[in-house]
């Protein structure tokens, strides 16, 4: 989120969200003039009440009610104004309520993300006008009850299109306290109608498409072919999508749900949704035509011909060997478990990838275990290639032996190794002995602008299926898109 997070009992949660935001949309940078005086309009006392004047709102409250805020919790700039007010519990080192007020001049992207995050349907909101509104600060707002990292939370949300502004108010904790209503009754949101018109919604926008592209990496000419996903796959999740292939069937994990597509060499046509009891993010396939799904705190399950064939409690994320008889259960640390499946039972033994500090992804092919993550010697993110017994064979790194970005997929090719580096938006090649060959940027090889490489899988003809998320050119939606890579 772009609004200022509170520093309190929610500090850890805020830091985690800030870390994620650094990988995607950054908080808006104030102008140099605003930076010089963040709090240019000091509170003005009027009798028993105190008024805080901001560029985009005014807030009048009674200090006798117990509301307080720190200077660092008040931000006031030309294009956004926010404050975090707290209502401490008397005699306890905690807050009864935290009230975050955030108003920003910005494009509609965040507002539309908020809609779905808080349980509203974009089409029902924009076209069918299916939701009731609650006036807050002089603005009609959607109202949603939910939670914030385990605490009850009441949210008010609005998009003031003519002003190109988004309003978000979060009341965390005991939001039914009468002092919350009193605080909000003193809020006045001040926005100027500049005649802004927001861009198209996802059903109005232009779906993603791309022409074939080629790019040289060393002496290899890599080719890409866009594989339309029929119908196009709209998503709000940038990172957690995965793919597995069995013959001419492609299985996609999208937003935790499993979907099967028929692959005809040029496109992916939707075949069926496969109902799951939980959301999964980890998928692998074996040579017996079985799909394996794993997720932290969920059972490892197997599927074949649309039906669940087995379920195993205990493992974390699991990547299975193509034989389907064993796999690696992993989470983040270098100490993992090799699991062997026999007669419905799970046998485990410890396997340690000592060259790795924190694991990002783990993949297995016939002869190798690939571990991507931060090196134990603090030399950065690399790909560690082990044999099936966990003995290190190669380390794949950047041209000078230094860190890569964030590799989400790696595979052995006829001539070496290929990886998808999500953070650098590059396809990278190495020789059989691990010698770095070179890389191709996403714009050159795919014609994309700023995708995230979510993962990939080998196709029957030896080419690579790469899946990625990419914003449409008209910013109406983010799509999950697929390409076939060959020429390596």
Contacts of range 444-447, beta carbons closer than 8 Å, 24 or more positions apart? 444/213, 444/215, 445/213, 445/214, 445/215, 445/222, 445/224, 445/485, 446/210, 446/213, 446/224, 446/226, 446/483, 447/210, 447/211, 447/213, 447/224
Look up residue 18 and give its two tokens: 């800030």
Say what percent of the chain tops pLDDT 70: 90
Q: pLDDT confidence of 7, banded at 50, 70, 90?
A: very low
What is the model's pLDDT at position 15?
A: 34
Q: What is the pLDDT of residues 11-69, one digit of tens each?
A: 333 333 333 333 333 333 333 333 333 444 445 444 579 999 999 999 999 999 999 99
Considering only CA atoms, which of 147, 317, 328 is closest in space to residue 240? 317
pLDDT band, residue 121 (cuts 50/70/90): very high
Confidence at residue 91, expressed as pLDDT on a 0 to 100 scale: 85
- Residue labelled with tokens 């580096």: 421
Q: Mean of the per-residue pLDDT values for the chain?
A: 91
pLDDT at residue 48, rounded to an integer: 79
- 125 backbone dihedrals φ, ψ, rounded to 5°: -70, -50
Average pLDDT over residues 119-141: 98
Band of pLDDT at residue 464, cut at 50, 70 and 90? very high
pLDDT of residue 31: 34
Q: With DSSP H G I counted as helix, E B as strand and the rest as coil, what are the percentages for the chain, rounded to 5? A: 10, 50, 40
Query: Which pLDDT value is given to residue 40?
Result: 43
The stretch 1-9 carries a mean pLDDT of: 37
- For residue 12, the model assigns a pLDDT of 35
The reported pLDDT for the residue numbered 344 is: 83
Q: Could you give the CA distance from residue 353 to residue 310 in angstroms, rounded to a whole number? A: 28
Residue 43, pLDDT score: 52
Predicted confidence at residue 1, as pLDDT, reads: 41
Separation between Cα atoms, residue 116 and residue 126, nearest integer Å: 12
Instruction: Indicate the pTM of the whole model.
Output: 0.86
**Residue 9, pLDDT above cutoff 70:** no
Q: Is the pLDDT of residue 203 over 80?
A: yes
Q: How far is the first Cα of the chain from the last one, in angstroms, to the nearest whole number?
A: 40
Tokens of 479: 């799509």
Q: Which residue has the tokens 């009754």?
A: 185
CA distances from 262 to 53, 238, 270, 409, 455 (A): 59, 24, 6, 22, 19
Assigned token pair, 328: 């690696």
Q: Hey, how many other C-beta atoms are within 10 angstroms of the C-beta on 334?
A: 19
For residue 401, report the phi and psi dihedrals to the nearest 5 degrees: 85, 5
């Amino acid at each position: 989120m772009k609004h200022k997070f509170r520093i309190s009992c929610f500090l850890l949660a805020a830091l985690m969200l800030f870390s994620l935001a650094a990988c995607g949309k950054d908080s808006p940078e104030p102008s140099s003039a605003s930076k010089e005086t963040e709090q240019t309009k000091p509170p003005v006392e009027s009798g028993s009440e105190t008024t805080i004047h901001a560029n985009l709102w005014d807030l009048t409250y009674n200090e006798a009610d117990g509301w307080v805020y720190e200077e660092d919790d008040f931000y006031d700039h030309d294009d956004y104004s926010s404050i975090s007010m707290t209502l401490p519990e008397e005699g306890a080192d905690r807050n009864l309520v935290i009230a975050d007020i955030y108003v920003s001049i910005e494009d509609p992207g965040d507002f539309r993300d908020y809609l779905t995050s808080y349980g509203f349907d974009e089409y029902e909101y924009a076209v069918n006008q299916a939701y009731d509104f609650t006036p807050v600060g002089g603005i009609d707002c959607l109202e949603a009850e939910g939670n914030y990292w385990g605490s009850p939370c009441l949210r008010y949300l609005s998009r003031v299109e003519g002003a190109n502004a988004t309003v978000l108010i979060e009341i965390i904790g005991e939001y039914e306290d009468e002092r919350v209503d009193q605080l909000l009754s003193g809020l006045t949101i001040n926005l100027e109608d500049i005649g802004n018109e927001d861009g198209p919604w996802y059903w109005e926008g232009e779906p993603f498409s791309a022409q074939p592209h080629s790019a040289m990496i060393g002496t290899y000419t890599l080719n890409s072919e866009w594989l339309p996903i029929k119908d196009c796959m709209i998503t709000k999740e940038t990172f957690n999508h995965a793919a597995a292939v069995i013959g001419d069937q492609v299985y996609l994990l999208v937003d935790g749900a499993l979907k099967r597509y028929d692959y005809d060499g040029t496109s992916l046509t939707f075949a069926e949704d496969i109902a799951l009891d939980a959301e999964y993010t980890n998928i692998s396939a074996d040579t017996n035509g079985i799909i394996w799904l794993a997720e932290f705190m969920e059972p490892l399950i197997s599927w074949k011909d649309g039906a669940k064939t087995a379920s195993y409690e205990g493992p974390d994320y699991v990547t299975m060997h193509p034989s389907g008889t064993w796999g690696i259960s992993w989470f983040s640390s270098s100490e993992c478990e090799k699991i062997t499946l026999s007669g419905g039972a799970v046998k485990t033994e410890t396997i340690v990838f000592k060259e790795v500090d924190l694991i990002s992804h783990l993949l297995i092919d016939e002869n190798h275990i690939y571990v991507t993550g931060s090196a134990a010697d603090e030399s950065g993110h690399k790909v560690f290639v082990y044999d099936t017994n966990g003995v290190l064979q190669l380390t794949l790194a950047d041209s000078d032996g230094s860190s890569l970005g964030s590799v989400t997929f790696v595979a052995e090719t006829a001539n070496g190794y290929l990886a998808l580096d999500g953070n650098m938006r590059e396809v990278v090649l190495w020789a059989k002995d691990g010698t770095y060959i070179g890389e191709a940027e996403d714009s050159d090889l795919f014609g994309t602008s700023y995708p995230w490489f979510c993962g990939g899988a080998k196709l029957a003809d030896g080419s690579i299926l790469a899946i990625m998320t990419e914003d449409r050119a008209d910013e109406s939606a983010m799509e999950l898109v697929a390409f076939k890579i060959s020429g390596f």
